[in-house]
């Protein structure tokens, strides 16, 4: 870890971060400085340039080349509603978030981070997304319909999650249009971000009008973790990261065949969380590699297990449940769970 940190300092040079987002940023507060939804939102329009080492493909949609302008290195943060990106959006209209850091070399991978159940005012995890952006990922947190569960969907929670994902009619319990689906929200977010931040090359992650899934990591917490697992079943994602979930105990979707192999999927849960045993059962049903490993009793990569948990003091059950996306800070302002996230997202 020390060697990696030293390399980052050398790469980004003076005036760049020391390895973590600003320690004063509150986890999930939704109050960090952002660029609003207005076109260009005060950004410097430097024009599209290829990043170092990438051929100049001329930019544009479906070019097959990620074009990023890093001439003005900084972290870009954005918030805008689904309605600002798509006038046909009708539900889950909270603030969607995005982040991208040009102080580090881009990985060419988009992380789609899915929030938990309910209708949050700000979707996603600002702290988690900043952490990933600093490691070269493009990151977005779309708002999506998540006000359903096993209690309402019964034994067809998989059908509910799929309808919320792609907007195709599968159940009478929920009614999700394509504009309100996760998949379309991703496309609309990327198009709006390309307008707001052409320096970021956001439309690289769209191909033929659909998300470029083989360059996307899908992740989420709680309800979002379960949905991330469902998406990995039906789309060829780079990785699936499930935090404090899934919890769809004994549901059929857990054991169905998966387009994304199990060795590209990870789960992380907290032992104080009352849902913990359900999470471990889901890891087993998904056939994630390895056996449950407590992170405090080892070091990354924890015997190559994809079933990770912690017992670090993070408060009560609810606080422990949410801690997997933020969690305790280290004395130097970093995140205690940083090595876990780096492993799961392939950033270590």
Q: What is the mean pLDDT of each run of 10 residues along the chain (348 residues)?
A: 29 36 34 30 30 33 77 95 94 94 96 94 88 97 93 92 95 94 97 96 96 98 97 98 95 96 98 97 98 97 98 95 93 94 95
User: Do 129 and 174 lie in a common domain?
Assistant: yes
Q: Which residues contact 252 (CB under 8 A, 6 or more apart)?
A: 155, 158
Out of 211, 232, 257, a domain closes at 211
> Is 234 within the bounds of a domain?
no
How high is the pLDDT of residue 28?
Answer: 34
| Same domain assignment for residues 144 and 279 | no
Residues 203 and 247 in one domain: no
Whether 345 contacts 241, CB under 8 Å: yes
Q: Are residues 244 and 173 in the same domain?
A: no
What does each C-alpha distance from 305 to 241, 272, 291, 294, 300 come to in angstroms? 13, 20, 6, 10, 9
Of 172, 191, 211, which residue is a domain's last? 211
Nearest to 343 by CA among 309, 289, 302: 302
**13 is a domain residue:** no
Best CA proximity match to 260, nearest among 281, 231, 303, 289: 231
On whether residue 302 sits in a domain, the answer given is: yes
Identify whether 16 is part of a domain.
Answer: no
Q: Which residues contact 126 (CB under 8 A, 6 or more apart)?
A: 25, 26, 27, 28, 29, 30, 32, 77, 97, 99
Same domain, 101 and 202: yes
CA 305, chain centre distance (Å): 21
The answer to whether 335 touches 326, Cβ cutoff 8 Å, is: yes
- Looking at residue 18, what is its pLDDT? 39
How many structural domains is the chain composed of?
A: 2
What's residue 127's pLDDT? 83
Same domain, 142 and 81: yes
Please report which residue ranges of the chain form alpha helices under DSSP H.
2-12, 82-85, 126-134, 150-153, 157-166, 182-196, 223-234, 276-285, 317-323, 338-345
For residues 105 and 166, state if they share a domain: yes
pTM over 0.85: no
Position 217 in a domain: no
Does 293 lie in the same domain as 153?
no
Whether 23 maps to a domain, the answer reads: no
For position 50, what pLDDT does the model report? Answer: 36
Residue 318 belongs to what domain range? 240-348
For residue 51, the model assigns a pLDDT of 37
Q: What distance in Å separates the CA atoms of residue 6 and residue 183, rounded to the nearest whole number?
A: 38
- Amino acid 89: pLDDT: 93
């Amino acid at each position: 870890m020390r060697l990696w940190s030293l390399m980052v300092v050398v790469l980004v040079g003076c005036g760049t971060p020391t390895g973590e987002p600003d320690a004063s940023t509150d986890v999930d507060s939704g109050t960090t400085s952002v660029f609003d939804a207005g076109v260009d939102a005060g950004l410097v329009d430097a024009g599209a340039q290829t990043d170092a080492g990438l051929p100049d493909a001329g930019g544009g949609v479906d070019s097959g080349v990620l074009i990023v302008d890093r001439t003005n290195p900084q972290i870009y943060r954005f918030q805008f509603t689904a309605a600002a990106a798509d006038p046909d959006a009708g539900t889950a209209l909270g603030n969607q978030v995005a982040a991208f850091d040009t102080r580090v070399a881009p990985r060419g991978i988009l992380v789609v981070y899915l929030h938990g159940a309910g209708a949050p005012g700000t979707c996603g995890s600002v702290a988690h997304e900043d952490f990933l952006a600093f490691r070269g990922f493009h990151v977005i947190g779309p708002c999506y319909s998540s006000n359903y569960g096993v209690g309402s969907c019964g034994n067809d929670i998989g059908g509910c999650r799929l309808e919320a994902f792609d907007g195709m009619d599968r159940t009478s319990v929920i009614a999700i249009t394509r504009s309100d689906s996760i998949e379309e929200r991703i496309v609309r977010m990327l198009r709006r971000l390309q307008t707001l931040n052409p320096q970021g090359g956001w439309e690289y992650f769209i191909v033929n009008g659909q998300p470029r899934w083989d360059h996307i990591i899908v992740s989420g917490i709680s309800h979002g973790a379960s949905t991330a697992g469902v998406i990995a079943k039906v789309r060829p994602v780079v990785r699936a990261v499930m935090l404090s979930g899934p919890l769809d105990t004994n549901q059929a979707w857990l054991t169905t065949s998966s387009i994304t192999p199990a060795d590209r999927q990870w789960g992380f849960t907290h032992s104080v969380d009352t849902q913990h045993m359900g999470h471990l059962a889901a890891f087993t049903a998904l056939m994630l590699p390895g056996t449950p490993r407590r992170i405090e009793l080892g070091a990354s990569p924890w015997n190559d297990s994809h079933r990770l948990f912690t017992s670090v003091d993070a408060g009560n059950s609810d606080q422990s449940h949410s801690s997997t996306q933020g969690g305790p800070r280290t004395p130097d302002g970093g995140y205690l769970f940083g090595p876990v996230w780096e492993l799961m997202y392939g950033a270590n």
